[in-house]
Amino acid sequence: MFERMCTTDVSSLWTEEIVKLAYNINQMNLSTSRFLEKAHTRITLMTDKNDKISVKNIIKMFAQNKDDRKKVEKALEAAGMPSGKSDALSLQKFTFEDFFNFYKHLTMRTEVERIFEQM
């Protein structure tokens, strides 16, 4: 079966379909909640062998400079999560609700929750 799956035709088809997805404008125009879900999923996929998410990885994802790093650390702390660079979060305790709470603290915008409640 493996030999049939790895033909030139099949690999060409896969390549074409992946390129279509990568350049699909509809994928780029997703709702804000969908982008948040994708960010949460991306973070949950960054686990180590013990199903822990490194705070360092979260900081890397959201911070571009030293000031941003401090904001991310403060948002994690305000959301009741570990915030030290060497700390880690349990995958089971990092639900989308926890992530959204962190996001609200990170953006420091009070209307964020109201907007998502209306959706």
Q: pLDDT by residue (tens digit) across 47-87?
A: 999 999 999 999 999 999 999 999 999 999 999 999 988 99
pLDDT, position 23: 77
Q: 85 — alpha (psi -120 to 50), left (phi > 0) or beta? A: alpha
Per-residue tokens: 3: 């030999």
Global confidence as pTM: 0.67
Strand partners, 87: none
Mean pLDDT, residues 26-34: 71
How far is 73 from 99, CA to CA, in rounded Å?
Answer: 13
What is the pLDDT confidence band of residue 1, given thresholds at 50, 70 and 90?
Answer: very low
pLDDT, position 115: 66
Mean pLDDT, residues 26-50: 84
Mean pLDDT, residues 88-105: 92
Domains of the chain in sequence order: 30-118 (2.30.29.240)
Tell which wins on pLDDT, 80 or 32: 80
